[in-house]
Amino acid sequence: MSWIKPMPTQPVVAVAGATGAVGVEMLKILAERKFPASRIKALASARSAGRTLTYPGGELIVEELTEQSFADVDIALFSAGGNVSLQFAEAVVAAGAVMIDNSSALRMAEGVPLVIPEVNPQAAFQHSGIIANPNCSTIQMVLALAPLHRRAAIQRVVVSTYQAASGAGANAMAELYEQTRQFLDDEELTVKYLAHRIAFNVIPHIDVFMEDGSTKEEWKMAVETKKILDDESIEVVANCVRVPVLRSHSEMINVQFSEPMDVQTALELWQAFPGIEIIDNPAEKLYPMPAMTAGSDAVYLGRIRKDPTVEWGINFWCVSDQLRKGAALNAIQIAELLLPA
């Protein structure tokens, strides 16, 4: 059953988790894109209530997130963690607002659409008060896969990720800064928010381990890809690694097709698809890197080449700022879909 409450032309927007890394980015992007909100409410835990956040045209005073927070809200952007989303989902829906949730708590729930606006915008209108934002690593990969899959059916995807500290939140970013300073000052490194030290290290472990030895992050990439592309036949195996980069996730992606696909066709499809930029000139040492993509909105592709080990296969490198397209930007693009035409 679809949500039937009409969306006003100037909705009231709440940002739950407004003081976190993604919440801060959501506020920034709402301003950058001139989202037509009549009012914006910054919500966070009681610990953050009363803080002042800068916002174009004035300041926002952070309010405590409670079940009464949504009485006058039309769109609630959530980035406060899965437990918080589950705790407040019923209150949001009961108030007649639409929750756009950035956590993993509801992504695979029946009746909750999982939306990338460039890929499956129509799914956003099949909600019953809750729309899920996909995993950051899934978003950038599926944005690249979608135009290819529409031309030639994808049989199998093997992806290895190189995920920035910001994917684990503001505390993990601060930990990378502090551990780097400690390392350079020859001090003992303080490990608090990640499983191991992140400075000058890589950690092949993101989210919890599952019974088959994979992590939940790797599982998310597989099941979410199938849900977004509406194709259970696609085989996906992911290997997710945390690297000492502040922001922007990188992925090396190998795609095997069940019918003809070549590099030139892939390039033409990507160049015509919204949200994708190509940086691919090996002779000039040009390819996407986190340092050049942080703070930008596109999904960048490079190192594009044929996989010679299969009949129809392509390898490519994919980089995107996961705080923006991988999280905050995608959520706000979903909100834009809901605005009256």
Question: 30: buried, middle or exposed (CB in 10 Å: 19+, 13-18, 0-12)?
Answer: buried
Check if the beta carbon of residue 241 is closer than 8 Å to that of residue 204.
yes
**Residue type at 229 in one-letter notation:** L
**Residues in CB range of 199: below 8 A, 6 or more apart:** 176, 179, 180, 182, 183, 189, 244
DSSP character string of 222-257 = HHHHHHHHT-TT-EEEEEEEE-S-SS-EEEEEEEEE
**Residue type at 152 in one-letter notation:** A
Report how far residue 192's alpha carbon sits from residue 215's, in angstroms, rounded to the nearest whole number. 20
Report how far residue 25's alpha carbon sits from residue 196's, in angstroms, rounded to the nearest whole number. 26
Find the Cα–Cα–Cα–Cα dihedral 336, 338, 339, 341, rounded to 10°.
110
Report how far residue 271's alpha carbon sits from residue 275's, in angstroms, rounded to the nearest whole number. 9
**Residues in CB range of 174: below 8 A, 6 or more apart:** none
Strand partners, 281: 286
Active-site positions? 136, 249
Name the DSSP letter for residue 118: T
Report how far residue 4's alpha carbon sits from residue 199's, in angstroms, rounded to the nearest whole number. 49
Torsion sign over Cα 135, 138, 140, 146 = negative
Residue 144 falls in which region: left (phi positive, over 0), alpha (psi -120 to 50) or beta: alpha
